[in-house]
Amino acid sequence: MALLQVDNLKKSFNNKTVLKGVNLQIDKGDVVAIIGPSGSGKTTFLKSINLLEQPDSGTLKLNDDQLDFSKVTPAEKLKIRRKIAMVFQNYALFKNKTALENITEGLIYGRNVSKDQATQRANKELAAVGLLDKQDFYPAQLSGGQQQRIGIARATALDPEIILFDEPTSALDPELVGTVVDDIDKLARNGQTMIVVTHLISFARRVANKVIFFEDGNVLAFGSPEDILDHPKNERIKQFLSAISKDH
Ligand SMILES: Nc1ncnc2c1ncn2[C@@H]1O[C@H](COP(=O)(O)OP(=O)(O)OP(=O)(O)O)[C@@H](O)[C@H]1O
Ligand SMILES: [Mg+2]
């Protein structure tokens, strides 16, 4: 049985249809890379899965839970958010909280974990991303790469079934990209199910076992990295890949 199944997801903003009936099925342990042109709906798709945007219609199944996007209840929203974490392009850390507090916050207030236990767990996650020594630093005192790694530690501390990453490296200086890619690769090797929107084809090749090409609110192609990235059949995908390879 699929871990996550999305059927016929549609979303419009002010009469402009941004997602036109997207379907996706992923299994536990899958790492799905989403690539595609700017404005094709990639971010909106991730936000819809996490219910940060309310889709107009479609259904979502996560394990045995099923919901209809057109009538999501507050309880369903909470349940989904507990199981699907999102890591943002611009980190979205609390500016007035330390690295440690950014991680413990969700455990203490969202999960009713004791402060001691939350601190222990946060330290474990900080160590996993190599930033234990930065636990008392505020976001402004950390590099972009370090902030993003705190964002990853904050997500993994909540033991999500799925982590959604929206261009996790695109705001970083080139020399910091590697550390974040390494962290995500480590999660992949530990079996964490993830969906990663990225423009970095080498990163998609390294971490993903499935690739989706998004165009104009639709999934234009879905397949293995070899099929989509190395031997694309579709002219549009060939053109996109050759255009971005010129940037890198
Ligand atoms: N809150 C919003 N209100 C109105 N329009 C929106 C909103 N969010 C996104 N859109 C529109 O939806 C379309 C898809 O946007 P989205 O951010 O999902 O694209 P994307 O594929 O993530 O692009 P990029 O690669 O540039 O991040 C765009 O035309 C965008 O202007
Ligand atoms: Mg986007």
Give residue-wise pLDDT tens across range 192-224.
Answer: 999 999 999 999 999 999 999 999 999 999 999
Q: Let me know how long the chain is.
A: 248
Mean pLDDT of the region 14-40: 97
Is the CB of 40 inside a 6 Å radius of any atom of ligand 1? yes
Is the CB of 38 inside a 6 Å radius of any atom of ligand 1? yes
Helix axes 115-128, 144-156, angle to 10 degrees: 130
Cα 52 to Cα 103: distance, rounded to the nearest angstrom: 20
Give residues with Cβ within 8 angstroms of 56, minimum separation 6: 10, 11, 12, 69, 70
Tell me the pTM: 0.94
Mean pLDDT of the region 172-178: 86
Q: For residue range 58-75, list pLDDT tens digits in order.
A: 999 999 999 999 999 999
Q: For residue range 88-139, list pLDDT tens digits in order.
A: 888 789 999 999 999 999 999 989 999 999 999 999 999 999 999 999 999 9
Phi, psi for 100 (deg, rounded to 5): -60, -45
Closest ligand 1 atom to Cα of 14: 4
Q: What percent of the chain has pLDDT over 70?
A: 99
Top CATH class, 4-36+50-93+161-247: alpha beta
pLDDT for residue 172 = 86
Give residues with Cβ within 8 angstroms of 13, minimum separation 6: none
Contact 72, 51 (CB under 8 A): yes
Is the CB of 42 inside a 6 Å radius of any atom of ligand 1? yes
Q: For residue range 146-174, list pLDDT tens digits in order.
A: 999 999 999 999 999 999 999 999 888 88
Q: Which amino acid is at 57?
A: S
pLDDT band for 248, please (50, 70, 90 cuts): low
